[in-house]
Copies of this chain bind each other. A is one copy, B any other.
Amino acid sequence: MNDVVAAVDVGGTTMKGGFVARDGTIHGFERRPTPRAEGPDRVIAAVSGFVADLTRPRAGVRPLAVGLAVPGLVTARHAVFSAAFGWRDVPAASFFGDVELPAALGHDVRSAGEAELAYGEGGRGVQDVLYLPIGTGIAGAVVLSGALYGGAGGWAGQVGHIPVWPDGVACGCGQRGCLGAYASGRAVAERYGVERAEEVVRLAAQGDVRARAVWGEAVEALALALATYTLVADPALIVLGGGVALAGDALVVPLRERLAGRLAFRAAPEVRVSRLGAMAGLMGAGLLGWRALSGVQGSG
């Protein structure tokens, strides 16, 4: 197995790593905890250790390059800013250490959006797509006219911080009423008082009144944010990804209805759950690696 790249996707609670073929197939998948509680440097060390382990030649696997996707504000050269990890201007070299393969750093959500375009729902001629992974936090990859759009400073797609209910609950970002403070996996779990959002989804399905209230508010917050996105950017398709989207119909069926209800004078765009599941980020990190190999600039 030599026609693969090594790839690591760094999430808020877990890092995913493995080898990714050109067609997106993942081999040797491995999950490691992200030691966020231990501080910025420990996370950097954990990431670079994961990269080193995957790129070290071993029996049967010699990756051709390595791609790394991290959250926050990211350029090809630096992890400029991450509130989740407390990162400020971390050079790409800190992650790639002594690796002698072509290597590329990129933004996790945007890379996942690229994977969606290449392998998933976006790859069927649809030009204007919002790809919205709902995980520990929420951020979006904005695809306009078939290409990822980063904005004037690389900050586009911060859909998780749209103020859906101004002066609502406090968000970790310092604002109030953000979408993410109601609908992220962490928010759904914390607002009910359990470890994981899927537990709230399960309890809501069983008729638990408080779980239904928390989940209903999450879905309504998403409907408001997606109505706003639709009014501003007029997408043809919205693809939901990340752990929370694994709720499937429990999410998209009420969401479609509420989104239509928030758009009085125009039709709602199509809303679907990603076929790539929770692997879009890792496949996107793989695309970064393949691009590093061919000398093409990463997705930033």
Task: Provide the bound-state CA to CA distance between A128 and B140, in Å.
Answer: 18
Chain A 141-181, CB within 8 Å of chain B: the 1/0 string?
01011000111111111110111111000010111000000
Main SS at interface, chain A: loop
Within the complex, which residue of B83, B150, B269 is in contact with A152, where a contact is CB–CB below 8 Å?
Answer: B269
Chain A 167-206, CB within 8 Å of chain B: the 1/0 string?
0000101110000000000000000000000000000000
Residue A20 at the chain B interface, CB threshold 8 Å: no
Nearest CB in chain B to that of A165: its residue: B166
Contact indicator B149/A144 (Cβ below 8 Å): yes
Q: Which of A227-278 contact B (CB under 8 A)?
A: 227-229, 231-236, 262-266, 269
Contact indicator A231/B164 (Cβ below 8 Å): no
Within the complex, which residue of B156, B158, B224, B234 is in contact with A163, where a contact is CB–CB below 8 Å?
Answer: B224
Contact indicator B233/A265 (Cβ below 8 Å): no
Nearest CB in chain B to that of A237: its residue: B152
In the complex, chain B residues whose CB is within 8 Å of the CB of A83: 265
Nearest CB in chain B to that of A235: its residue: B152
In the complex, chain B residues whose CB is within 8 Å of the CB of A157: 232, 234
Contact indicator A234/B175 (Cβ below 8 Å): no
From residue A188, how far is it (CB to closest CB) to chain B in Å? 19
Contact indicator B152/A228 (Cβ below 8 Å): no
Contact indicator A174/B264 (Cβ below 8 Å): yes
Task: Provide the bound-state CA to CA distance between A173 and B227, in Å.
Answer: 14
Contact indicator B232/A229 (Cβ below 8 Å): yes
Task: Provide the bound-state CA to CA distance between A144 and B155, in Å.
Answer: 13
Contact indicator A234/B164 (Cβ below 8 Å): no
In the complex, chain B residues whose CB is within 8 Å of the CB of A227: 163
Tell whether A163 pairs with B232 under 8 Å between CB atoms, given A128-B151, A128-B152.
no
Task: Provide the bound-state CA to CA distance between A173 and B264, in Å.
Answer: 6
In the complex, chain B residues whose CB is within 8 Å of the CB of A165: 166
- Specify which of A127, A174, A263, A265 lies most central, judged by the most chain B CB atoms within 10 Å of its CB: A265
Contact indicator B231/A152 (Cβ below 8 Å): no
Contact indicator A153/B234 (Cβ below 8 Å): yes
In the complex, chain B residues whose CB is within 8 Å of the CB of A163: 224, 227-228, 262
- Specify which of A151, A173, A229 lies most central, judged by the most chain B CB atoms within 10 Å of its CB: A151
In the complex, chain B residues whose CB is within 8 Å of the CB of A224: 163, 166
From residue A200, how far is it (CB to closest CB) to chain B in Å? 22
Which 4 residue pairs spanning A and B have beta carbons closest together? A151-B234, A174-B264, A152-B236, A158-B231
- Chain A residues close to B by CB (< 8 Å): 83, 127-128, 140, 142, 144-145, 149-159, 161-166, 171, 173-175, 224, 227-229, 231-236, 262-266, 269
Extra A-B contacts (11), CB below 8 Å, given A150-B234, A158-B232: A127-B152, A144-B149, A152-B234, A155-B234, A157-B234, A162-B232, A163-B224, A163-B227, A163-B228, A166-B262, A171-B264
- Sample (23) of A-B pairs whose CB atoms are under 8 Å apart: A128-B152, A142-B233, A150-B234, A151-B233, A151-B234, A152-B235, A153-B234, A154-B234, A155-B234, A156-B233, A157-B232, A157-B234, A161-B265, A163-B227, A163-B228, A171-B264, A173-B264, A174-B265, A175-B262, A175-B264, A228-B232, A232-B232, A233-B233
